[in-house]
Structure 1
Amino acid sequence: MKSRSRLSMTIITVLLALQVSVLHHSAGAVWASEGSPSGEAAVQTASKGNLGPSDRVKALRDLGFDAAADLLEAMEAAGLTPLISPDLTSSQATSEDLMTPKTSSVSGVEITDATDGASLKVVQRGKSVKVTGPYFLQSDRGDLYQEMALWAIRSGKSATQLPDGTVQIGPFENPTQALEEAERYPQWNASCVGTQETSGSSTRLYYAVLRIDPSKLKVEPVFAGSFGMGRAPMSFLHSNSKGAIAMVNGGYYYNSFPLGTLIHRGIPMGRPIPGRSAVGITPEGSVFFGDGTAYFGVRLRDTILPISDFNIPPKNGELSIFNPSAYRPGLTGGTTLLWVKDGAVSAANQGDYVLVGTGRAGELLSTASMGEPVELVSNFAFPLFQSCSMVIQGGPMIVENRTPLRRQEGLSKTITHRRHPRTLVGIDGQGLVFMVIDGRNGHSDGVTLEEAAQIALEEGLTAALNLDGGGSSQMIWRSVTVNKPSDRRERPIPYGIGVFEPR
């Protein structure tokens, strides 16, 4: 599957029907907020005038859409002028209905914004609820239960392993205490949860959709290692990436190391996981989805050495490849290293990547001379990935050919069948689409992968791949974080997927 078409940047928006201007035409009625592009003489001002920025935020809060109100406020503070609209898809609204707004029946709102080659839509459905204590840490790392239980005993807490394999630790007096412990023990991959006091609609969903034209905008990973860190908040990665329009989190990781196939500018940076699906993008902007299983090696003269590890020292007799930003002098001890630039041996500290070998691999590297050709060798289970400059392995694939899938791809049911925050990447026949769905908080319940597939289909996606989720799920649009990460703070990640200004 691939997408070359340019996104249509026409956005038709029906704005919140609360004391706003009304434009009559043959098809019905459309509302335009102050500063909207209609500007026609036919616009008749409502009796109380157009809504200003603070009025629009207040209107959202009055409707119970606090998360959308927070986003609108942040976007306006950043100098953006987004549009807001009611979700009318669930009703057969007539022109007369629209002329007489019934705000109590509004079940959802949308916030939209656009720039050249990209557009954003954020949706909130259902009323917000209040989250109160007691607070607990919830972890999907059931294999670390004994470690968590010992910590709980020492700390005067309890650790309970639930039937689905997740572990609940607590109680804590407030979310800050819980999140401090989660940060102290990142291997737990834990999030803070509390008691939800539900009011209004029982359906709570908040998600953001980023649509881009990959033939016009550049898409590539941004690594924390480029700034001397193993992991970093995504807002830091975005603000320090020149020309970044947007950013989302990427694939899975452990500590500071990406898990799964990861290709950056044609260079492998992650160990493949057999059978997991991946997304690939060519330099021209074509998008493919397929099996991310791959083999990577290096050809030096007539010998091909397999690459065994990525950005960590090699085991005895093996070969590792380092991103220059991840390599540090002395990191590899007494091993042999080789810098490679533009397919040839280069001077130290000047290269596209660093090869580090021990034993037989190290002996071969030590015989290389300056300027000698070095070739990266790759063999993908999905051949079209050979032409891609970026490949990111996630999993599982949840939509293919407009059909929902039910695949595990080696992931546990606690990941696939429970409701969590999610990050998806897909295509819609016009361009590349990223989606972030909030969860584990008062404004959004999160989704199972089956539910995520249904939302992707509602948004017109013909293919969709699940990426890392949970507390890592985050999207930034024009310097504003548009969702609410479930940890109630940014979770540091080893890399984000950046969207950059036109090529």
Structure 2
Amino acid sequence: MNKSRITAITLAFLLLWASLAGAAAPTTAPASAPAAESAAVPAAVVSKIRSSQAADKVRIVLDMTAVPAYKVRLLDEPLRLVVDLEGAVNKSGLTELKFNDPLVGAARLAQAEPGKLRLTIDLKQAVIYNVFSLKAPNRLVIDLVKVYEQKVTQEVMPGVTYTSWLSGRPYGPVSAHILTVDLKQGFVLQPVLANGVVQGLDTVAAMARACRAVAAVNGSYFAPTGEILGLFKLDGEIVSTPPLARTAMGVMPDGKIIIDQVTYQGYVQLSSGERLVIDGVNRERGPDELILYTSRYGVTTGSNIYGIEYVIVGDEVKAIKTNDSVIPADGIVLSAHGRSAQALAALKVGDKIKIHQSLGPVWDKTVHVLGAGPMLLKNGSIYLTTKIEEFGSDVAGGRAPRTALGLTKDGRVLLVVVDGRQPTSTGMTLLELALFLQELGAVDAMNLDGGGSSEMVVNDKVVNKPSDGRERKVGSALAVISARLAI
């Protein structure tokens, strides 16, 4: 980390502590005699070292004959707090304290150089600190504070506010970014595909610029190719489907947002009346599957030679190919393998065929849908669907960077990004994220893609710190757009 970043982190934490404690900056030392006279003052002696641990802080205390001038520095790489005491010696018989704590590792007291005693505290994560002296008896106290809070809210434009929220929690610091949107003031939510296709990859900032969004966050899960892994509907067209029912957000024709678990059902109806289930839309075809491809997927299906494909335009079979068919702009391609291919074997060019797709009576009315999951809140209560939706440890495991969507009782939208995997922000578990959304006033909420993908852009600026150290190219975004610009 460069010096400017170290300075910024140090200054931010010092200013935050000053605002919380109302105390002088932690580097403040007690008044001391002029340098010319200090040689005549007996050395300050550390007679005892002790510590205590609590949910809100770790405290280290040096019992001393006198508290000398001292200097405090917060260093990075490795992260540590260093306190240098002028003209002090250690006669406590103890040189090291070890801690079983998520924030503090060990504290060591050693002679840095003649006439200077150094206390070095190894930190696992950034903390707010306060160093001060007490008299009768003389003590130097170092508080490493875990629980604190600082919020800064600014209006992006009427109806949209952005809040940066730095908080200390018993398990570590958390940096969160909250966008609050009042849809009634002329805004809509709109999913965005990277480069306009299912197999696209781009940064959230680039997607936000492309649709002239006020703000945006990352959206659905995606494969390395950019292929959307979940439900996606754009302008009334089902663009991608998940292998099982998972949580999604939908945009109704009036702009209202709904959140629920959604099931895709699709089938092909032959002229004979026989029906064949569609296994998925715009994803790689698997064994015995029937996959429907639209032009949103790309130019061709990219399929292998072990199946058969039917090019359909206007409910009529226009061509039959083995693989990698060109997808017509005004039609679809049905790609079949194994049992599905056998069921369609009698189809000929010119035959009629009907495609039926549904998300259910309510969700069929949606204009746009973006799926991810699991659900976090339902009707004001914690409602984690992690196991029901079969999410693995890559999504559900431990604290990580997170992105979420919440809805308040009065219809406002909350877009939340929590930084993680950094000394300045440890991230959240799904349960912690659900509780946080509840704290913010959400009654319904869902998890979006997270990890290195978690990102928030406001007015063309990335406001959070992606854990990769840079913007990751992702498959989709969820944008806040002025209603007059929405298409």
Report the TM range for the smaller structure's normalisation.
Answer: 0.5 to 0.7
Q: Does the CA-based 8 Å contact 1:439-1:445 persist in structure 2?
A: yes
2:161 alignment partner in structure 1:
119
Range moving further from structure 2, 280-289 or 467-476: 280-289
2:202 alignment partner in structure 1:
232
Q: Given the superposition, is the C-alpha separation of residues 431 and 375 from structure 1 closer, same or farther in structure 2, using an over 3 Å criterion?
A: farther
Cα deviation digits, residues 75-134 of structure 1 (max 9, x gap): xxxxxxxxxxxxxxxxxxxxxxxxxxxxx998413142322443322212249xxxxxxx
**Contiguous gaps of at least 5 residues in structure 2:** 1-7, 18-144, 320-325
Q: Does the CA-based 8 Å contact 1:339-1:346 persist in structure 2?
A: yes
Which of 333, 336, 348 is the equivalent residue of 2:309?
A: 336
User: Do residues 468 (structure 1) and 449 (structure 2) align?
Assistant: yes
Shift of 1:473: 1.0
1:324 alignment partner in structure 2:
295
Cα deviation digits, residues 372-409 of structure 1 (max 9, x gap): 895542144xx422221222332222211211234423
Shift of 1:462: 0.7
Distance 1:114 1:406 in 2: 32
Distance 1:273 1:349 in 2: 23
Shift of 1:486: 1.0
User: Do residues 398 (structure 1) and 368 (structure 2) align?
Assistant: no
Superposition pairs of residues 204-223 of structure 1, within 5 angstroms: 204-214=173-183, 216-223=186-193
Distance 1:203 1:113 in 2: 29
1:63 alignment partner in structure 2:
15
Superposition pairs of residues 80-479 of structure 1, within 5 angstroms: 107-126=149-168, 203-214=172-183, 216-226=186-196, 230-239=200-209, 241-255=210-224, 256-299=226-269, 302=273, 304-312=275-283, 314=285, 318-329=289-300, 331-332=302-303, 335-338=308-311, 351=329, 354-358=332-336, 359=341, 367-368=349-350, 375-380=355-360, 383-409=361-387, 410-412=390-392, 415-416=395-396, 418-429=398-409, 430-479=411-460
Residue identity matched to 1:338: V
Residue identity matched to 2:455: Q
Residue identity matched to 2:425: S
Q: Does the CA-based 8 Å contact 2:201-2:473 persist in structure 1?
A: yes
Distance 1:314 1:202 in 2: 44
**Contiguous gaps of at least 5 residues in structure 1:** 1-55, 66-103, 128-200
2:96 alignment partner in structure 1:
none
Distance 2:157 2:350 in 1: 49
Residue identity matched to 2:401: P
Distance 2:300 2:246 in 1: 34
Shift of 1:366: 5.2
Higher share of residues assigned strand: 2
Shift of 1:361: 7.0
Shift of 1:482: 1.4
Q: Which has the higher contact order (CA 8 A, sep 6+)?
A: 1
Q: Given the superposition, is the C-alpha separation of residues 57 and 451 from structure 1 closer, same or farther in structure 2, using an over 3 Å criterion?
A: closer
Shift of 1:367: 3.9
Distance 1:283 1:344 in 2: 31
Shift of 1:415: 3.7
Distance 2:168 2:15 in 1: 10
Residue identity matched to 1:226: G
Distance 1:478 1:352 in 2: 36
1:161 alignment partner in structure 2:
none
Q: Does the CA-based 8 Å contact 1:299-1:377 persist in structure 2?
A: no
Q: Given the superposition, is the C-alpha separation of residues 106 and 360 from structure 1 closer, same or farther in structure 2, using an over 3 Å criterion?
A: closer
RMSD, aligned α-carbons? 3.8
Distance 2:251 2:431 in 1: 25
Range moving further from structure 2, 307-316 or 484-493: 307-316
Distance 2:480 2:247 in 1: 21
Shift of 1:447: 0.9
Distance 1:305 1:213 in 2: 44
Distance 1:236 1:275 in 2: 30
Look up the SS of the partner of 1:220 in the other structure: strand
Shift of 1:61: 7.0
Residue identity matched to 2:386: Q
Larger Rg: 2
Shift of 1:319: 3.3
Distance 1:364 1:220 in 2: 41
Percent identity, please. Answer: 25
Range moving further from structure 2, 443-452 or 316-325: 316-325
Distance 1:426 1:462 in 2: 7
Look up the SS of the partner of 2:215 in the other structure: strand
Q: Given the superposition, is the C-alpha separation of residues 399 and 257 from structure 1 closer, same or farther in structure 2, using an over 3 Å criterion?
A: same
Distance 1:292 1:375 in 2: 19
Aligned residues: 331
Which of 460, 463, 467 is the equivalent residue of 1:482?
A: 463
Residue identity matched to 1:428: T
2:105 alignment partner in structure 1:
none
Q: TM-score, normalised by structure 2?
A: 0.58
Cα deviation digits, residues 120-171 of structure 1 (max 9, x gap): 22212249xxxxxxxxxxxxxxxxxxxxxxxxxxxxxxxxxxxxxxxxxxxx
Distance 1:353 1:493 in 2: 27
Cα deviation digits, residues 329-379 of structure 1 (max 9, x gap): 4734674343658x999998763663233436766775458xx89554214
Shift of 1:427: 0.4
Residue identity matched to 2:450: G
Look up the SS of the partner of 1:418 in the other structure: coil
